[in-house]
Structure 1
């Protein structure tokens, strides 16, 4: 889940003076470098990559239940990157001025949508991994359950549930005004009565940590092990290629490539999400005092770990280009339409050659 680690403390709304004590260098540098330099670059690359992915995976020739999930994941990642960038604007000069009241009024809702789209990305990743596990390890059951229709229903369910489960976020924040050390008014988000309720904070923190972090990482780790093992068994048992078995072996190779692509997507997800999970575990057992050295280091690490989530949302496009031949071909034919006619003619000529070759071999054997 997206955590706003830059908020030093959930402050009550009746505070009238801003606290601007000297921050730890690590927190300050990590925040400035990441939020004002790295985030805009990663968001620009990620938005472009996810738009291309949506364009490619929604083509008719790419239609499949897995690609439905990957298209939905690209939409969730695209929205997450845009909302994340909106949140990062807080760190630019002048953004706390009273004339930016519209930004601060809508910021709680952007926090909600950021959490919701991040959660959707997490559970869409879990969904297509579980589907792939069923299709690879239980193929008979997979033919019945791994359909495009079911995938679309799961996608809608994931988005709706993630929006509902994070819907309390806007009610945790209230726009307030404080005075800095120069006597200038600044806007900030104060904690509402709900956010200051110990029972609510304890329950919601535990719930989101378990449901949005630990359970998904556990499921993805287990499924990844089974998928890698299944691909390894498939390659080791594969018979020598022959003319008669060429089609089935080609199809198995393509299935293995799809599985390996998803394994790489999941592995990147775990690598980028695991640091946040570790930090959340630390926060369960250790509560540092605000503005202490340990607290500022924790905030600096939080900035870095949130950035890793951002990198994850922007990187799937690169994995698809590296791992999937069909994705690359469809991308080229989409961007350069004239290639589609050339590819089609080559396909027909190759098919004719294959049929003639097969017919010749059959007559020779007889």
Structure 2
């Protein structure tokens, strides 16, 4: 791994210990449907939670913790290593486009009055999430085939080494750019565009509604609709904004690696360290959504407290009797 990678490796177990149970808790809370959110919004948030959980399992626990601390694990076998590479790419792309899908749904719900009735439904959310999953699956299917065994002993294949001719192949070059665009380059501009359009629409509509309320009631502060819009935009910007902030650095690194056609980093310790830091930030983004829910949704906080307290309720009752 290299001396510079060791301090970074310390953070991955922390991410796994915090992120995995927190995302599981978030999924259970959203599954109950008691957070005051619409059904399609709940579907998107549950999907994002599953995507974040997959990133924490395959990109943090398996790829970083198990591979680093257990070099003799099943990952040393080529088939398992290939499967791990596929699941890592699949989970990263999945969580990216689940976030974009949620942001687009909120854009339609807030900005497109006529389309909202047809698009913002639980059925449409299921169709969109299924389509995103299938496209991500198909995009990442070739990924394991870029690797070949590093060596073979008694017909058992060990390790994953980039296949000979990978950089010279135009087919692999096309796949490399497709995965880079779909995972890093396209989601962030899409989120920024949708958020800017949504924010503009909310601000214009809120000014008009505030002026109308002042002319009628003289009190713009008690309007529940304005409060609901404010909460919606805070939730939307917090989720997509945190994703963009955590993903932007690794997008820059991907651009540099793609332009320079770098496959290994043995001759560039600084580039290797940059890749490790930006990848850590990207994985950290899988722990932020639950914090966003807790900070912006009072009902989610209440449900989280209830779920956390529930295992201890019998014990508390026993001592209070």
User: Normalising by structure 2, what TM-score?
Assistant: 0.83
Match of 1:322 among 295, 308, 321: 295
1:227 partnered with 2:198? yes
Q: Deviations over 1:79-126 (max 9, x none)?
A: 11101120112222x61x5x7566553121111011111111111111
The answer to whether the Cα contact below 8 Å between 1:175 and 1:190 also exists between their aligned partners in 2 is yes
Aligned-pair distance for 1:286?
A: 3.1
In structure 2, do the counterparts of structure 1 residues 263 and 143 end up closer, same or farther at CA, with 3 Å as the change threshold?
same
Provide structure 1 residue ranges, at least 5 long, that are not aligned to the other structure: 1-5, 7-22, 179-185, 339-366
- The separation in 1 between residues aligned to 2:22 and 2:150, in whole angstroms, is 38
In the alignment, what sits opposite 2:230? 256
Aligned-pair distance for 1:233?
A: 3.3
In the alignment, what sits opposite 1:352? none
1:170 partnered with 2:144? yes
The number of residue pairs the alignment matches comes to 299
1:54 partnered with 2:27? yes
- The separation in 2 between residues aligned to 1:199 and 1:264, in whole angstroms, is 39
- The separation in 2 between residues aligned to 1:249 and 1:101, in whole angstroms, is 57
In structure 2, do the counterparts of structure 1 residues 101 and 328 end up closer, same or farther at CA, with 3 Å as the change threshold?
closer
- The separation in 2 between residues aligned to 1:145 and 1:289, in whole angstroms, is 42
The answer to whether the Cα contact below 8 Å between 2:55 and 2:88 also exists between their aligned partners in 1 is yes
In the alignment, what sits opposite 1:12? none
Aligned-pair distance for 1:219?
A: 0.9
Q: Mean alpha-carbon deviation: is it higher for 145-154 or for 329-338? A: 329-338
Higher relative contact order (CA 8 A, sep 6+): 1
In the alignment, what sits opposite 2:207? 236
1:278 partnered with 2:255? no
In structure 2, do the counterparts of structure 1 residues 101 and 321 end up closer, same or farther at CA, with 3 Å as the change threshold?
closer
Q: Deviations over 1:229-255 (max 9, x none)?
A: 233334434335999x99x93244224
In the alignment, what sits opposite 2:173? 202
Which structure 2 residues correspond to residues 210-221 of structure 1 after superposition, within 5 A?
A: 210-221=181-192
Q: Mean alpha-carbon deviation: is it higher for 141-150 or for 192-201? A: 192-201
- The separation in 1 between residues aligned to 2:309 and 2:23, in whole angstroms, is 18
In structure 2, do the counterparts of structure 1 residues 193 and 44 end up closer, same or farther at CA, with 3 Å as the change threshold?
same
Flag the structure with larger Rg: 1
In the alignment, what sits opposite 1:308? 281
- The separation in 2 between residues aligned to 1:202 and 1:241, in whole angstroms, is 62
Aligned-pair distance for 1:264?
A: 0.9
The answer to whether the Cα contact below 8 Å between 1:109 and 1:169 also exists between their aligned partners in 2 is no
Which structure 2 residues correspond to residues 4-23 of structure 1 after superposition, within 5 A?
A: none
In the alignment, what sits opposite 1:9? none
The answer to whether the Cα contact below 8 Å between 1:228 and 1:260 also exists between their aligned partners in 2 is no
In the alignment, what sits opposite 1:143? 117
Give the match's secondary structure for 1:171. Answer: helix
Provide structure 2 residue ranges, at least 5 long, that are not aligned to the other structure: 312-321
- The separation in 2 between residues aligned to 1:73 and 1:333, in whole angstroms, is 22
In structure 2, do the counterparts of structure 1 residues 198 and 296 end up closer, same or farther at CA, with 3 Å as the change threshold?
farther
- The separation in 2 between residues aligned to 1:313 and 1:299, in whole angstroms, is 22
- The separation in 1 between residues aligned to 2:244 and 2:93, in whole angstroms, is 14
Give the match's secondary structure for 1:150. Answer: helix
Coordinate RMSD, CA, aligned: 3.0
